[in-house]
Amino acid sequence: MNLRALFALVRKDLLHEYRSREIVIAMLVFAFLVMVIFNFALELNKTIRETVAVGVLWVTFVFAATLGLNRVFAAESDQTSLDGLLLAPIDRTIIFAAKFISTLIFVVLVQLIIVPLFSMFYSINLFDPLFLLTLFLGTVGYVIVGTLIAALALKSRSREILLPILLLPVSIPLMLAVVKAGKNILEGAEWALVRPGFSFVVAFDVIFIAVAIMTFDYLLED
């Protein structure tokens, strides 16, 4: 794999984001809004808050990440620079990997801010290393599928509407496992109870990395 090309592409995305501040700020504000809305929509009190916290956290990230994923290929398609990218003598998989890595960085940046805030507002301690690892692996899975489907939705007429409709059903199994595992971890359950969910998340990541590598070439053919 051509690491220099990968690095250059990621750097380009990060630089673009640094200058425009288009995606991360929007995701951040949106995530914060979802967090606030859930608090009132579910009429959370202390006990309910503890049982639904992991689920609410995940819904927050899923919605925020979907917002960001809508813009993953936006710069390329708006300025038609995707053609230029495709003309470059590099493997298509590298284009996918670069998009995946830069999107992952954006989402993780948002999480770095939202997780402490969430801990504070929902008065629940999320700083368990295993929980954070599960959170990260779940995010990896969601962003892989998300990047692949963002490329799928790119050519369609109603990209923004279609992306969540295509993406959410595919990621439901991931949500189920990651919420279950996360909840068990925070409740201090033993490893035997956490393991099924945790290994599922790892398996999901591996499977969809493979699927993405196998199918991404077909999406960028023209």
Partner 1 sequence: MKAPKSLTYLTYAAIIGFLVTLYMMFFYAPREVLMGEVQRIFYQHVAFGWWFSVAFAVTLLAGIMYLITRDLKWDRWAVAGAEVGIIFTLLNIASGSIWGKPAWNTWWTWDPRLTTATITLLLYIAYLMLRQSIESPTTRARFAAVYGIVSFISVPLTIFAIRIWRTIHPVVIGSGDPTAEGSFNMTQPMLITMLAHMALFGLIFAALLWHRYQLETEAAEVADLKTQLLLQS
Query: What residues contact residue 24 under an 8 Å CB cut-off, 6+ apart?
Result: 17, 68, 106, 109, 110
| CB-CB contact of 31 with 63 (8 Å) | yes
Site for partner 1 contains 123 (CB under 8 A): no
Site for partner 1 contains 129 (CB under 8 A): no
Site for partner 1 contains 157 (CB under 8 A): yes
Burial environment of residue 172 by CB neighbours within 10 A (0 to 12, 13 to 18, 19 or more): exposed
Binder among 145, 150, 185, 209 for partner 1 (CB under 8 A): 145
Binder among 197, 198, 205, 209 for partner 1 (CB under 8 A): 197
Site for partner 1 contains 109 (CB under 8 A): no
Closest CA to 213 of 140, 144, 137, 138: 144
Site for partner 1 contains 221 (CB under 8 A): yes
Token representation of residue 66? 């979907």
For partner 1, the binding residues (CB under 8 A) are 145, 148-149, 152-153, 155-158, 162, 165-166, 168-170, 172-174, 176-177, 180, 196-197, 200, 204, 207-208, 211, 215, 218-219, 221-222
